[in-house]
Structure 1
């Protein structure tokens, strides 16, 4: 198991008479292995938390660093945990034969290994699917949960793209498949700057600090 210390970000300025949250202590990375697959989690520690640790499970194209822009709002409130589960980011490749239950159990394995008995859970996009299965199989580990940005059905755009991308891969055109995936999942360059980071962070603050 590998642990690496990373410099923590300063806490945000707080308006009005509300108390200023304590600054997070530091971030560390833990290299773990589940059922033979190596994976890595990132923990931003908070020595004086106001709520349980917040586990952020992102989408299929995100990794454990994708939520760093939210840390200046969230890390002063609680310990933050992000993870590259098997098949994500820098972790080991996961064959398609492994299902969502495997990923849900990998989440529980991570929490057990890092000594966190209970979390507030946020799942975004595909992270909602993994988070829901984790909560179903390990409800004792979830204090509160919020899910966002997941569709209740597969859009026609994606249904039409899957056969086309599969054919591209079968031809061995890796570059063409990669370009198709980027066009399918990423915002168009003309879309401009995304300005919703602060709004998402404030939503999480309200959900996890005000609910009982």
Structure 2
């Protein structure tokens, strides 16, 4: 459970604390010619397997820095960006998310991490789900958050591709925020206005290099499904989304949980697709609780915890 990280050779950047201890490392890798990085914050006395995070779309390895304070005393944190994220030539649209899952396997081999707690966020759930199908023995616990978009979303993803192709960061940002943040005034969403402003400001000021990367992300979203058919078993699993998430609606995420033996399903109250921003403290608490085998009952920020696979089997 407490396997230390191997100090692999290759490019790395280390940051240090004032006392000289290592605060984090950024490691650089190449998988089949596509470069990627991971950010590592090593815990000296972990109580659970390393938490490996697969970044969501339009994010990078720094996007989860805000959760360090909640997780770093319990587990080593490894945050991986998709291959080709910042390469001159991004992964082409014809390549499915199996490629990213294989890159994750490569990374865990390089770091000599035989078993991990795996967290897929939004688009990061696609390779996470495939990895879980292919390598269940390497996962102690699995969380898929904001997973399972439907085919009806493809035209919305095509809109993102359209504006990115035209180089219109402002329109791209507006459309993406509409997708991710539920704007219905009849729905209560924590910190809605602040999250909308922050996302619009960040996305609408994307650099030319970021726009190239974002376009590649949007193209793969258009062409490839969130998940491939096939059950998952052999690990504790949690599928969760925002209570008011229209991009990855609760019913679809519940159905994904039903294809994972023993998986729990729940939603985070008064949030939508970016619950990790809208209720960041509660989201971080949920992740840590699950990865350290604490109960999820009695939490005021969650709706009822369900076990869809067990419910489905009881109907036969």
**Pair in the same fold by TM > 0.5:** yes
Please tell me the TM-score bracket, short chain as reference: 0.7 to 0.9
- Residue 299 of structure 2 corresponds to which residue in structure 1? none
Indicate whether 1:2 and 2:11 are aligned: yes
Aligned alpha-carbon RMSD (Å)? 2.7
| Distance (Å, rounded) in 1 between the aligned partners of 2:79 and 2:24 | 11
Q: From the superposition, tell whether residues 159 and 105 of structure 1 become closer, same or farther in structure 2 (CA, over 3 Å).
A: closer
Q: Secondary structure at the match of 1:26?
A: strand
Show structure 2 runs of 5+ residues with no match.
1-9, 184-190, 196-276, 295-316
For residues 176-195 of structure 1, the aligned pairs below 5 Å read 176=168, 178-186=169-177, 191-193=193-195, 194-195=277-278
After superposition, give the CA deviation of every residue in 1:72-102 in whole Å (9 maximum; x if it has no partner). 0001110000012213356861111221111
- Residue 116 of structure 2 corresponds to which residue in structure 1? 119
Pick from 284, 292, 295 the counterpart of residue 201 of structure 1. 284
Indicate whether 1:94 and 2:85 are aligned: no
- Displacement of 1:52 in angstroms is 0.3
- Whether the aligned pair in 2 keeps the contact of 1:34 and 1:106 (CA below 8 Å) is yes
- Whether the aligned pair in 1 keeps the contact of 2:52 and 2:117 (CA below 8 Å) is yes
- Whether the aligned pair in 2 keeps the contact of 1:43 and 1:81 (CA below 8 Å) is yes
For this pair of structures, how many residues does the alignment match? 191
- Whether the aligned pair in 2 keeps the contact of 1:117 and 1:141 (CA below 8 Å) is yes
- Normalised to the residue count of structure 1, the TM-score between the two structures is 0.79
For residues 8-87 of structure 1, the aligned pairs below 5 Å read 26-87=23-84
For residues 149-164 of structure 1, the aligned pairs below 5 Å read 149-154=146-151, 156=152, 158-164=153-159
| Distance (Å, rounded) in 1 between the aligned partners of 2:112 and 2:38 | 13
| Distance (Å, rounded) in 1 between the aligned partners of 2:194 and 2:90 | 33
| Distance (Å, rounded) in 2 between the aligned partners of 1:54 and 1:167 | 35
- Normalised to the residue count of structure 2, the TM-score between the two structures is 0.55
